[in-house]
């Protein structure tokens, strides 16, 4: 009987999973498991700390929490973008998965940024209004540092919108606009360090340092491998 013939009533043979894909899926699953465990471990103390916040500090604290989540989301999006551009992240997750996470993290960062900004309307201590929240240089609180964050927020909006107009503006201009992701990260880091009322805490300072080192490494790796990547064919989602 021919090897390609399947006997009547029998099931078709299942194609074996490539070892590279198995390692990739295992690495991705392990990463998600570690992230879930960390969130689970930290959720209890974080919830307890929020429960002790008095009413007059609730909006300010919620705004700071949203800001930090926005920073981590944008940092993750930048890391995925640099990793895809250099080919480094292809060994961990597929291009489609990486691009989806790159986009979704940028959108999550923008959503958390909006929450960070507009939650400040509920803070009665400083007295923010719409113009002081949206127009750089109008903030009554740490004007310059806040202005840097406002520029970062507007740049983040352009960056997020660029995902939806890629087919209109073309891949070349889209990649040029994507350099805004690094600009957003740098400005957001400066804003967080100099405008954040909690940036003096050791744990947050070290988070800023650690995240910045990862981004610097990926950016340096991207620049070092720019020539070799140009010799390879374009990939879907790049």
Query: Which one, of 163, 77, 162, lies nearest residue 112 by Cα?
Result: 77
Q: Compute the distance between CA of residue 38 and CA of residue 32 in angstroms, rounded to an integer.
A: 10
Whether residue 89 contacts residue 227, with contact meaning beta carbons closer than 8 Å, is answered with no
pLDDT of residue 12: 44
The per-residue pLDDT for range 89-147, each reduced to its tens digit, is: 666 666 666 677 778 888 888 899 999 999 888 887 888 889 999 999 898 888 999 99
pLDDT of residue 42: 52
The ranges assigned to domains in the chain are 55-226
Whether residue 108 contacts residue 168, with contact meaning beta carbons closer than 8 Å, is answered with no
CA-based R_g, the chain, Å: 22
Higher per-residue confidence, 201 vs 108:
108
pLDDT of residue 13: 46
pLDDT > 70 fraction of the chain, expressed in percent and rounded: 66
Handedness of CA 80, 185, 220, 179 (dihedral sign): positive
Q: Compute the distance between CA of residue 38 and CA of residue 45 in angstroms, rounded to an integer.
A: 12
Diameter of the chain measured on Cα atoms: 84
Residues 6 or more apart whose Cβ sits within 8 Å of residue 197: 60, 64
Quick count: other Cβ atoms within 10 Å of Cβ 189? Answer: 20
The per-residue pLDDT for range 151-178, each reduced to its tens digit, is: 999 988 888 888 888 888 888 888 777 7
Query: For 181-195, what is the mean pLDDT?
Result: 88
Q: Compute the distance between CA of residue 149 and CA of residue 140 in angstroms, rounded to an integer.
A: 14
CA 81 to chain centre: 9
The two three-digit tokens of residue 40, written as one number: 């689970």
Which of 25-34, 44-53, 133-142, 219-228 shows the lowest mean pLDDT across its residues?
44-53
Residues 6 or more apart whose Cβ sits within 8 Å of residue 180: 155, 156, 158, 159, 162
Q: Compute the distance between CA of residue 67 and CA of residue 116 in angstroms, rounded to an integer.
A: 5
Higher per-residue confidence, 67 vs 175:
67
* pTM for the predicted model, two decimal places: 0.70
The per-residue pLDDT for range 9-29, each reduced to its tens digit, is: 544 444 444 555 555 555 555
Upper half-sphere CA count for residue 165 (Cβ side, 13 Å):
11
Which of 34-38, 137-141, 173-177, 179-183 shows the lowest mean pLDDT across its residues?
34-38
Q: Compute the distance between CA of residue 212 and CA of residue 207 in angstroms, rounded to an integer.
A: 8
Q: Compute the distance between CA of residue 217 and CA of residue 82 in angstroms, rounded to an integer.
A: 10
The two three-digit tokens of residue 11, written as one number: 């099931």
């Amino acid at each position: 009987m021919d090897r390609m013939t399947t006997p009547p009533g029998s099931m078709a043979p299942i194609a074996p999973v490539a070892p590279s894909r198995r390692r990739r899926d295992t690495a991705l699953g392990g990463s998600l498991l570690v992230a879930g465990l960390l969130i689970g471990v930290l959720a209890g103390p974080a919830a307890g700390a929020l429960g002790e916040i008095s009413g007059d500090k609730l909006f300010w604290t919620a705004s700071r929490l949203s800001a930090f989540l926005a920073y981590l989301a944008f940092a993750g999006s930048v890391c995925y973008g640099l990793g895809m551009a250099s080919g480094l992240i292809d060994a961990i997750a597929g291009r489609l998965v990486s691009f989806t996470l790159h986009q979704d993290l940028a959108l999550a960062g923008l959503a958390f940024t909006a929450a960070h900004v507009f939650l400040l309307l509920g803070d009665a201590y400083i007295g923010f209004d719409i113009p002081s929240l949206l127009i750089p240089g109008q903030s009554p609180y740490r004007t310059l540092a806040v202005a840097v964050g406002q520029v970062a927020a507007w740049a983040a909006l352009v960056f997020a919108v660029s995902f939806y107009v890629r087919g209109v503006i073309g891949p070349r201009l889209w990649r040029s606009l994507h350099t805004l992701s690094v600009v957003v990260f740098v400005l957001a880091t400066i804003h967080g360090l100099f405008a954040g009322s909690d940036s003096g805490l050791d744990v947050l300072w070290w988070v800023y340092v650690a995240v910045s080192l990862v981004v610097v490494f990926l950016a340096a790796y991207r620049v070092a491998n720019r020539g070799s990547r140009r010799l390879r064919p374009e990939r879907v989602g790049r």
